[in-house]
Amino acid sequence: MDYPKEWINYTREELLAILSKNLSKKRYQHILRVEEEALKLADYYHADCAEVSLAALLHDYAKERSDAEYLHYIDEHPQFAMLRPYGNNIWHGMIGALFAKKELGLNNPNVVRAIQLHTVGGKQMTQLDKIIFIADYIEPNRHFEGVDEARKLAYTNLNQAVSYALSHTLIYLIQRGYPIFPMTLDAYNHWVGRIGDE
């Protein structure tokens, strides 16, 4: 697959080579499975396959960077100071997307946004945001309790799948005592708790 040159100056094959070289085998294979699932969803919901493929391939582009690299970036960019305590799970989306932008010349704001939201979710999510969020949650190698229900919802009602994933992700985090990023609560309150924008 080729992507429009205005979005990124690499073909899919060239991007795969970059990812394969820079990430662990495990991560690389996860990325391929997320792309596979995301393209199935794109097909089902008539989304733009090139955007979906690009966002899927790059969603974990910077997941294996060191905490030190992220903390250095946060210290240099005070607008991200509130991300500091939340760790790699939050950083690799919210900041990792900006690394892809800078290092790969990624220049499609829809794709950047979908990468940023892929772990935290958001009160406002585009169809692309939802597809990447859900593909990452249900890719073929996920085996958690409830994944079958999530898969079923993904191909029935994408918004209900987002609600399901947000609720179950929050419970997962709380059961383990992990911190919860405020945007994820906003997303939950919007998609599940039906809190409007008043």
**Where do we find the tokens 């997307």?**
97
> CA–CA separation, 60 vs 135, rounded Å?
13
Decide: 89 and 119 in contact? Cβ < 8 Å: yes
- Show the site string, 58-87: x = touches a copy of itself by CB under 8 A, - = not: -----------------------xx-xxx-
**Residue 107 or 160 having the CB closest to a copy of itself:** 160
Residue 34 sits at φ, ψ, to 5 deg, of -65, -40
180 binds a copy of itself (CB under 8 A): yes
Sites for a copy of itself among residues 132-171 (CB under 8 A): 163, 167, 170-171
Q: Which residue carries 């998609």 as its tokens?
A: 191
Q: Which strand (E) or helix (H) includes residue 88?
A: helix 88-94
Within 8 A by CB and 6+ apart from 142, the residues are none
Q: Which is nearer to a copy of itself, 16 or 183 (by Cβ)?
A: 183
Structure tokens of 55? 């966002």
Closest CB to a copy of itself among 108 and 163? 163
Closest distance to a copy of itself from the beta carbon of 180 (Å): 6
In the complex, least distance from residue 195 CB atom to a copy of itself, rounded to whole angstroms: 5
With contacts defined by CB under 8 A, name the span among 36-44, 128-136, 147-155, 179-187 that binds a copy of itself. 179-187
Within 10 angstroms of residue 72's Cβ, the number of other Cβ atoms is 11
Binding region for a copy of itself (CB under 8 A): 81-82, 84-86, 163, 167, 170-171, 174-175, 177-180, 182, 185, 188-189, 192-196, 198
